[in-house]
Amino acid sequence: METDVASSTSLETIEAWAAAYVLAPDIAYKLAPPKPPATFETVPAPRPEIRPGRGASFNVSDHAHKSSGRSALRSPIARARLIHTFLHHELQAAELMAWAILAFPSAPERLKRGLLGVLFDEVRHMNLYAELLRERGYEPGGFEVRDWFWERVPQAPSIESFLATMGLGFEGANLDHAPSFAERFRAAGDERAAEVEERIGQEEVPHVRFALTWFLELSPLVRDGVPLFDAFASSLPAPLSPMLMRGKAICRPMRARAGLTDDFVERLVTFGG
């Protein structure tokens, strides 16, 4: 069985659980992982090299399928494909929270427990998308996927860089993307998908606030007085830049709720322009 990667591994620590989650090759395990243990390893070793399991239930491609325009989303299969893409984004986010626990074991314990909490939010979001797919006659794994975030985020050399990249960056961008895609689903007559997308977007707000809080506390650049946006941009691993971490339309109210200042948002809007 593909899920034997977890059952054959001792899951007595949070690190062992996190490794089992990342390595599990089965979508079913990713959607419904076991309850994690309560304690961390006493002397954990960094494991930044760990990469996700991808078994037969994944159809991994090197190229993204682009069919998210307004006219394209009139097609039920195009909407299902997009929902599947969003599910895979949430999966990668969940896996990367586990990866960060393993890659940066010296991070504060409260931060690592927070990452675990975010992971389970992402799992819940995955299941919301899986439910949408099943309502439409499709299953997770029914469309090809690309591990776009795994190709980039593990280049982060520190926990501060991870928080900037994943939390302030990509999850921050989702505060823009979610309302936009909700509107597109609604324009295509898919109110159910629009409501799910809006709900998930709202639930990303605390994730961005969590990343911001810890970035402000841990970033040596911030401690040295570097403005937040400059510290954020400098913490992104090359070749990533803030240009990738925003939507075409910036959702200022949601970013404000996440704690991002007007100055930060304005500089994000004008970056590279």
pLDDT of 72 reads 76
Q: Structure pTM?
A: 0.94
Q: What pLDDT, on a 0 to 100 scale, did the predictor assign at position 90?
A: 98
Residue 223 Rama label (left phi>0; alpha psi -120 to 50; beta): alpha
Assess contact for 122 and 90: CB atoms under 8 A. Answer: yes
pLDDT digits (tens, 9 = 90+) for 136-182: 999 999 999 999 999 999 999 999 999 999 999 999 999 999 999 99
Convert 121-143 to b/e letters by CB count within 10 Å (16 or more is b).
bbbebbebbbebbeebebebbeb
Q: Which residues of the chain have pLDDT under 50?
A: 1-8
Considering the chain, what is the average pLDDT of its residues?
94
- 54 phi-psi bin (left φ>0, alpha ψ -120 to 50, beta other): beta
Mapped onto helix, strand or coil, the DSSP state of residue 19 is helix
